[in-house]
Amino acid sequence: MPATTVKRRVSLALLVALGFYALSDILLWQRIFETHELSLFDPEYQTGHVAILVGMMAVGGVLLLESGLWALWYQGALYTLAFGGVEDVLYYWLDGKAIPGVLPWLDRSRLIFVRPLPGDVTNVELLASAAFWVVLWLSVLVFVPRIAARRSAA
């Protein structure tokens, strides 16, 4: 399979997975848990939500197995984009809402590290973190094949 086809397939799989992961967050958390004041069950919800992500990583990895290392790219990108802020940005954008000014529930996330040490995560810091991870994974997508091509040509 041509390298461009592989990169397109892996990129599309990542976009679809992130979109549906954010949509499931909207439908489950906002439409059920918040609407019916079930915040007491937040730990169970978070466990289930992570299980969905791990399942998407596993299914994507299996379906992209013939793509070689790009299957690992998909899994790494999906995990870090989901927990590094991109899923949170999509959560608000897909729901047509503005990102709140302060997001204290994200303080525990170790992948949202574009922030000051004290205080809660702000929307600017969330967007900066999301942008960092998107640029990182797009850079790998673009530059790793070029570097590999130069090495094999030499």
Rounded to the nearest 10 degrees, the angle between the axes of helix 42-63 and helix 69-83 is: 160
119-147 residue pLDDT tens: 789 999 999 999 999 999 999 999 988 87
**Structure confidence at residue 109 as a pLDDT band (50, 70, 90):** confident
Q: Which residue, chain included where needed, has tokens 């799989």?
A: 13
Give residue 149's pLDDT: 74
Flag whether pLDDT at 114 surpasses 80.
Answer: no
d(CA 116, CA 6): 38
Q: What is the DSSP string of 102-121?
A: EEGGGTT-TT--SS-SSSPE
**Which residues constitute the domain of residue 130?**
3-153
Phi, psi of 82 (to 5 degrees): -65, -45
Supply φ then ψ for residue 69, to 5 degrees: -65, -20
With bands split at pLDDT 50, 70 and 90, how would you rate the model's confidence at 1? low
In whole angstroms, what is the distance from residue 100 CA to residue 53 CA?
Answer: 24
For residues 42-59, average pLDDT: 94
Query: Structurally, how many domains does the chain consist of?
Result: 1
Query: pLDDT digits over 74-107, tens only?
Result: 999 999 999 999 999 999 999 999 999 999 989 8
122 SS3 class: strand
Give the helix/strand (H/E) hosting 35.
none
* pTM, to two decimals: 0.91
Q: Which of 35, 81, 34 is nearest to 56 (CA)?
A: 81
Residue pair 21/9 in contact (Cβ under 8 Å)? The answer is no
